[in-house]
């Protein structure tokens, strides 16, 4: 059974967001990792880039597919996980810890309120055809 930490917020596109003061750390869920298989490349934006909710911010490639990444909230990129450049498999090994993708400075803190909590995300997954 996949793990969906209670301290995170989730999108229907399988990104997660963890609030850290006025910043939000972003990654993809264990469900997304399971669907992708072995991650081979993560293409991320640069610090200073401005993202909009549900806007495309990068791509993730695996042995199975190339998938788009979407911002869970509006914000400005303040940090990217540069470790993923040389070790994209960190996303597979530790999607909620070492495999995070970027940190955003929140534009609208209320954006987080629009995301699903772990229980709602788990219920949402139950509606999908796997």
List domains and CATH numbers for the chain. 9-108 (2.40.50.100)
Give the span between the Cα atoms of 47 and 52, in whole angstroms: 14
**pTM of the predicted model as reported, rounded to 2 decimal places:** 0.94
Give the span between the Cα atoms of 81 and 99, in whole angstroms: 8
Give the span between the Cα atoms of 8 and 5, in whole angstroms: 6
Name the stretches of the chain with pLDDT < 50: none
Give the span between the Cα atoms of 62 and 46, in whole angstroms: 21
Give the span between the Cα atoms of 34 and 112, in whole angstroms: 25
Sheet order of strands, 39-43 included: 39-43, 56-62, 66-70
pLDDT 10s digits, 22-33: 999 999 999 999
pLDDT for position 113:
95
pLDDT for position 129:
73
pLDDT for position 130:
57
Give the span between the Cα atoms of 42 and 120, in whole angstroms: 27
Return the H-helix or E-strand segment holding 60: strand 56-62
Return the H-helix or E-strand segment holding 90: helix 90-93
pLDDT for position 1:
57
pLDDT for position 3:
79
């Amino acid at each position: 059974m996949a793990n969906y930490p209670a301290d995170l917020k989730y999108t229907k596109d399988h990104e997660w967001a963890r609030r850290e003061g006025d910043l939000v750390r972003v990654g993809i869920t264990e469900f997304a990792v399971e669907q992708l298989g072995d991650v081979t490349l993560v293409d991320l934006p640069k610090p200073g880039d401005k993202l909009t909710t549900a806007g495309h911010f990068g791509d993730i490639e695996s042995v199975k597919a190339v998938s788009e990444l979407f911002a869970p909230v509006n914000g400005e990129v303040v940090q990217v996980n540069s470790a993923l450049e040389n070790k994209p498999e960190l996303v597979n090994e530790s999607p909620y810890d070492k495999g995070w993708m970027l940190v955003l400075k929140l534009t609208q803190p209320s954006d987080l309120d629009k995301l699903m909590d772990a229980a709602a995300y788990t219920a949402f997954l139950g509606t999908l055809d796997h």
